[in-house]
Amino acid sequence: MRPCLFSIFPALFLAAVSLAEEVPKPILFPNDAGVLKVTDFGAIPDDNKDDTGAIQEALDQYPSGNRIIYLPPGKYLVRNTLKWPGTSSANNQKRTILQGAGEGLSTLHLPENTRGFSDEKPKALIWTGSKPAQRFRNAVRDLTIEIGKNNRNAIGLQFNASNQGCIRNVTIRAEKDAGKIGLDLGHADEIGPLLVRNLTVEGFEIGISTKWPVNSNTFEHVRLINQRRFGWWNYHQMIFVRGLVSENGCTTLYNEKNSWGTVTLLDSHIHAPHPNHNQTAILNERQLYLRNIEIFSYRKPVDNSDKGRDKGDIEKEGVVAMDTSHKNVAGMFRKKNDGTFPSIGEVALLPVKETPEVPRGDLAKDWANLVTFGADPTGKVDASSALQKAIDSGKKTIYLPADANFRFDGEVLIRGPVQRLIGLEGRFTAEGTPVWKLVDGKHPGGLPDAPVVVIERMTHRYGGLPLLIRQESKRTLVVSSTVGFNVEGHGTGDLFLDDFCGHLDRVAPGQSAWCRQLNSERKGVKCRNAGGKLWILGLKTESLGTLIETTGGGHTEVNGVFLYSNSGWEESVPAFVIKDSTAAIFGINERNFNRSPVSFWVSETQAGETKELRERPWVYLSK
């Protein structure tokens, strides 16, 4: 009896499967939140009439304006491409969020045999922008995209985001024999970094397409079903993936040759619904790292067919505990010195926690607008005292409406029952040295503390000062889909950073942090682990400076690194610093086009002895 995903990765499987099975309550927003409803522009769900013009008008209302374009529950017919507004200049096609009421509740439907979607040239139902890499903060959330019959060359979603942007809780589905590509992340160069989480692609010739050599794409909990040619086709791109579930008769993942394409794949399950003796599950012609992968019912689980490199095919179905197509594995203090890849038992791996969520609650009872507590929406007056009043009011969610720009200069204590500070995609300005502190037991009315606090969906003004968040608590802190925050750990509570453009300044001793799609671009040290446990899926950095510094007995694990070193490098600056600590770094990638790449990769010190690594490894294991 062969093992199955329920026994090996039960939580992972259920998280992916539940996307299709659960019917969530509608996601709603307050009327004064600055959210644009497509129904206010003439779109009428479930009336079997074309809604393309009305939805496009809503998208065009505030181009690149940090606005949520909201689809109330129902099915909307779309007969032409919905486009993010503006030209391909750096100031357009960004800061736009298409938001449904829930996956399975809000649906964009392309009717069968729609003109233009069956032609030879592929055509997208949704298109969010072209290069250059300026498509900041674009997102598609909580909806379903459907492609009807006889639309063979339809593309469900051509998505582009830079630095911070995401696809969350989305299903892209095509009728039998319809659809060219479900999710297209290869229609333009310079796509990413971005986060895709909780995505189902059903049908299509190709489920997901990722292409071109910058800027990396991070995925977690992706389900691919019934593709006709490839479940996933990668060319040139760096993809960092955890929790892929594939049910396909075709090849699930093709990493194409003659490219820089690299794949880091963790905790996944791949099977053919019926035994397929003609197909390979993973066809890899470039660089591949696998860990905890179940593969069944294919002719060959993994074919590393890049002939000029280490071949090492995987012939036997079952669980791939750990494997890499290329053996450039380094470790200066490891017991093994023969260059061979260690078994999974010899690699110190960190346990992974899923990012917690908090209930949205009742809008009338639980939500409060920051403006009602005296905050100046024009940003002329510091809103810190108003935010403190809102937090201390006993409300569970404090929201910052999108049509405001608040200024924060002072200290705010996050305490009591508040469990969410949500920006509704709006901006803030930080002046002076503002700090938000997550603390325990300091509510003036003695109200109990919420166990989890989420800060999400907001950004500072471009080029402005960062706002510091200090985690001084035993509670859990989540910072999600934000730009302009620095986070410091000083307590013992867990930290989660998702779709985060900013800096992790400290993980404290005894503290654990989990990061998905972490983008850090400042000069100097990007992340500091000062004795805690730090786990990362997808790290992208720019500018000269150490990526991660691990000290004080800390333990760091990184799954997928992209270092864009075009600003040049200095021989005295190590990319990674390890001092009397442990680090495991998998899938290290660099792109450099100015002939000044990284020249100093690792400085590791153990018990007073320091060693240096000057050549780039694909995998680095300390101790």
Whether 597 shows a pLDDT value over 70: the answer reads yes
Mean pLDDT of 460-486: 93
CA dihedral 253, 256, 259, 264 (to 10 degrees): 20
* Higher local confidence (pLDDT), 86 or 57: 57
Q: Which of 580, 524, 590, 529 is nearest to 557 (CA)?
A: 529
Amino acid sitting at position 78? V
Whether 251 shows a pLDDT value over 80: the answer reads yes
* Higher local confidence (pLDDT), 373 or 325: 373
Mean pLDDT of 207-214: 96
The whole-angstrom separation of Cα 92 and Cα 542 is: 23
pLDDT at site 4: 44
Check: CB of residue 320 under 8 Å from CB of residue 296. no
The whole-angstrom separation of Cα 110 and Cα 144 is: 11
Q: What tokens were used for 292?
A: 């905890």
Q: What angle do CA 473, 361, 399 make, to 5 degrees?
A: 70
Whether 421 shows a pLDDT value over 50: the answer reads yes
pLDDT at site 314: 87
Q: What is the mean pLDDT of the chain?
A: 92
- 92-145 pLDDT per residue, tens: 999 999 999 999 999 999 999 999 998 789 999 999 999 999 999 999 999 999
Q: Hey, is 10 helix, strand or coil? A: helix
In whole angstroms, how far apart are CA 285 and each of 250, 296, 313, 517? 17, 21, 11, 25
Q: How confident is the model at residue 567 (pLDDT cuts 50, 70, 90)?
A: confident
Among the ranges given (460-464, 471-475, 539-543), the one the predictor scored with the smallest mean pLDDT: 460-464
pLDDT at site 6: 40
DSSP letter at 587 equals: E
> How would you write 398-442 as a 3-class SS string?
EECCCCCEEEECCEEEECCCCCEEECCCCEEEECCCCEEEECCCC
Mean pLDDT of 551-570: 95
Q: How many residues does the chain have?
A: 623
* Higher local confidence (pLDDT), 207 or 261: 207
DSSP letter at 565 equals: -
Q: How confident is the model at residue 90 (pLDDT cuts 50, 70, 90)?
A: confident
Long-range contacts of 492-498 (CB under 8 A, 24+ apart): 493/438, 494/353, 495/471, 496/353, 496/355, 496/356, 498/195, 498/197, 498/355
- Cβ neighbours of residue 522 under 8 Å, at least 6 residues apart? 503, 543, 545
Whether 320 shows a pLDDT value over 50: the answer reads yes
Neighbour count for residue 476 (Cβ, 10 Å)? 21
- 8-47 pLDDT per residue, tens: 444 444 444 444 455 669 999 999 999 999 999 999 999 9
Q: How confident is the model at residue 336 (pLDDT cuts 50, 70, 90)?
A: low
pLDDT at site 20: 46
Domains and CATH numbers, the chain: 5-228 (2.160.20.10), 363-621 (no CATH)
Whether 592 shows a pLDDT value over 70: the answer reads yes
pLDDT at site 312: 78
- 277-290 pLDDT per residue, tens: 789 999 999 999 99
pLDDT at site 10: 44
Q: How confident is the model at residue 315 (pLDDT cuts 50, 70, 90)?
A: confident
